[in-house]
Structure 1
Amino acid sequence: MNGIWIEVTVITKSEALEPISGIFYGLGCPNVAIEDPEDLLSREQGPLTWDFADINILEHKGNAAVVKAYFSEEDNIDEVVETVRQKLEEIKSLGLDIGEGKVTYRKMHEEDWANNWKQYYKPVKITDKIVIKPIWEEYEKKDDELIIELDPGMAFGTGTHETTRMCIKALDKYVKPNTTVFDVGCGSGILAIAAAKLGANHVVGVDLDPVAVDSSKENISFNNLNNIEVLEGNLLDVVSGKADIVVANIIAEIICVLTEDVKKALNEGGLFIVSGIIHDRVDMVKEKFAECGFEVMEINKDGEWNCIVAKSIG
């Protein structure tokens, strides 16, 4: 997973972080880092646990907030930058203060990125049971803790982002013995690993990205699990059988596209756990769920994000 990445940076203000991050998600880039000076003080005073969104945060102390997105060398960066600039003008026309709104980009070696952030990534407890531990850190297991060994690499978050935390908490609540779980858009494999650690009988991770498939398989090997299968492709194209739980930590628009297929892939009464939904997209997801025969059981919030647990009915 070594290589060169193109880091596209937008200098802005805290209130514009969410819509600007949305620009990059809309371009199909999941590798987005958010640096918020309003959040930095609380992080410096609290435990030193960092997420992918905190990469290089120390570079930009002051009033400026920063959004960074990481693209491969194969992407047309000139086109990406021009699109971002156009979208920034659209956001500005809506009356939102985007601050400087400056867009820059640079090449970055993956090993340089790793050296910058690994020193800040420490073990963090997500639930009463689950602890996420980077493979290079020492940690003494306590009581009944379940340890997830993780090496996210360049392309994936460290597992402490709000959306991931909420998914893990939902899995902790709903995974039972003999449960079958499908993880759609498995990324680093963290949710699949969490489900297996929590007692799921069989777990299938699915992702369109071959890099994600390789990353998931590698992380599964660190955790010595033999009940997780990782497949490359679309859900129904590559997965046979049905699940008791389908979990997807992706953006709302993709969740809506997937919902009909997930309905077909779930056992009667099965659960669809989804996260990565900003506040103003919750109603859109709820409407799609109702249309496809899901009953919303709970909606949990963490910061700007929502996690919905819905049950397949009929």
Structure 2
Amino acid sequence: MSWIQLRINTNASIAEKLGDFLFEQTDVHSITYLDAKDTPIFEPLPGETLLWNETDVLALYDANTNTLDLIELIRASEILQSSFQYKIEILEDKDWIREWMDSFVPLELKNNLWIIPSWHSAPETNSTNIFLDPGLAFGTGTHATTQLCLNWLSSQNLQDKLIIDFGCGSGILAIAALKLGAKKVIGIDIDPQALQASRANAKKNQVEENFDLYLPKDLPENITADVLIANILAEPLRALSQQIIGMVKLDGNLGLSGILDTQVDNIKTYYTDNVSFDKPDNQGEWVLLSGKKYK
């Protein structure tokens, strides 16, 4: 079976609205949002969809779709200007699921730590192996910020320690900590879907018994950790700095990521009264700040 792909150039403010319209009003098989200018974008917060300033909306249809009627339907919706730019492409028949799966292979990080899609076997059975499938909503190990956090965790002595994963998303960092010897991990996230994803991934990796998950409003009082890892974004790291500091034991370690290199100095100002920072760890434009709580 062949396919028709409709590519519409738009912007982030209306791309998702257009995608919703196509799902509701047409027989579309899939919608993809593609960066029209190859602009880097970081992983979204759990439950959040981030789009680029200039976005291509790619809609996939059966080959017998009447594209003239489709374009007129979009024009009549008035979501876009009547002169909107689009392109219609014929796609060859492929096993799309297999092609998607083949594009993901086991990922080796530092200190013999591996992230492995569930359809692959572990390349090394004596390594620290995390089985996690690629996804859109939560961290899966492919982004620089997640890799920075995983590499940092693998360099820490986590044996028998209590860890807090602040903004746990998929649970990848918590699962890594448990497989690296942590006694217990507390995962916190504002999105119930993230907690569900973390719970499912922990079960897949057989570490669910030592992984407690909470929405912020349900978190028990006065919990402090030996190690806290927060892979979120600069703004919540600023806004929640006192809460984050308060959840770390004296002499405990912090790892803060989701920070651009241009934001490092500003982020530090919110923590330096309580945290002695190590040299930042960079991967491209992204930075992980780590340090020890001394006060």
User: Counterpart in 2 of 1:244?
Assistant: 226
1:11 and 2:36 correspond: yes
Q: Answer whether contact 1:185 1:205 (CA < 8 A) is retained.
A: yes
Q: Work out whether residues 181 and 246 of structure 1, in 8 Å CA contact, stay in contact via their aligned partners in 2.
A: yes
Code of the aligned partner of 1:309: S
Deviation at 1:151, TM superposition (A): 2.6
Quickly say closer, same or farther: Cα 1:303–1:193, change in 2 above 3 A: same
Q: 1:229 aligns with which of 212, 237, 244?
A: 212
Q: Does 1:308 align with 2:271?
A: no
| Equivalent residue letter for 1:119 | D
Q: Answer yes or no: is 1:204 the counterpart of 2:186.
A: yes
Confirm whether residue 295 of structure 1 aligns to residue 276 of structure 2: yes
Q: CA deviation at 1:121?
A: 1.1
Per-residue CA deviation, residues 94-133 of structure 1 (Å, 9 max, x unaligned), is xxxxxxxx899xxxxxxx9966633211111112221111
Letter in 1 for 2:171: G
8 A Cα contact 1:252 1:281, kept in partner: yes
**Pick from 255, 265, 275: which aligns with 2:237?**
255
| TM-score, normalised via structure 2 length | 0.69
Deviation of the 1:288 alpha carbon = 1.0
8 Å Cα contact 2:279/2:289 also seen in 1: yes
Mapped pair 1:122 → 2:105:
yes
Work out whether residues 188 and 216 of structure 1, in 8 Å CA contact, stay in contact via their aligned partners in 2: yes
Deviation at 1:161, TM superposition (A): 1.4
The answer as to whether partners of 1:10 and 1:103 remain within 8 angstroms in 2 is: no
Q: Deviations over 1:82-103 (max 9, x none)?
A: 9xxxxxxxxxxxxxxxxxxx89
Q: Pairwise mapping of residues 144-155 of structure 1 onto structure 2 (< 5 A)?
A: 144-155=126-137
**Helix, strand or coil at the partner of 1:182:** strand
Q: Which aligned pairs between 1:100-139 and structure 2 lie closer than 5 A?
A: 117-139=100-122
Aligned residues: 234
Task: Name whichever structure is richer in helix by fraction.
Answer: 1
1-side partners of 2:152 and 2:249: how far apart? 18
Shift of 1:279: 1.2
Return the alpha-carbon distance in structure 1 between the equivalents of residues 185 and 226 of structure 2. 10
Instruction: Tell me the amino acid that sits aligned with residue 175 of structure 1.
Output: N
State the alpha-carbon separation in 1 of the partners of residues 165 and 277 from structure 2: 19
| 1:247 and 1:274 in contact (8 A); partners too | yes
Please give the alpha-carbon distance, in whole angstroms, between the structure 2 residues aligned to 1:268 and 1:237.
20
Specify whether residues 257 and 103 from structure 1 end up closer, same or farther in structure 2 by C-alpha distance, changes over 3 A only: farther
Amino acid paired to 2:158: K
Distance 1:175 1:103 in 2: 54
Q: Alignment partner of 1:273: what SS?
A: strand
Residue 229 (structure 1) shift = 1.2
Task: Specify the structure having the higher radius of gyration (Cα).
Answer: 2
Distance 1:154 1:9 in 2: 13
Shift in Å at residue 214 of structure 1? 0.5
Taking the aligned partners of 1:280 and 1:189, their CA distance within structure 2 comes to 27
Deviations 1:224-252 (A, max 9, x none): 11211122235x84465210111011111
Q: 1:161 aligns with which of 143, 152, 156?
A: 143
Bigger CA drift: 178-187 or 119-128? 119-128
Partner Cα separation in structure 1 for residue 287 and residue 187 of structure 2: 22
Matches within 5 A, 1:42-53: none
Query: Structure 2: how far apart are the matches of 1:233 and 1:168?
Result: 23
Structure 2 residue ranges without an equivalent (≥5): 1-19, 24-29, 58-78, 80-84, 88-94
The letter of the residue matching 1:220 is: A
Distance 1:140 1:115 in 2: 20
Spell out the pairing of 1:46-61 with structure 2 (5 A cutoff).
none
Give TM-score, length-normalised by structure 1. Answer: 0.65
Aligned residue identity for 1:313? Y
Match of 2:247 in 1: 265
Unaligned runs of 5+ residues in structure 1 are 35-64, 70-81, 83-101, 105-111
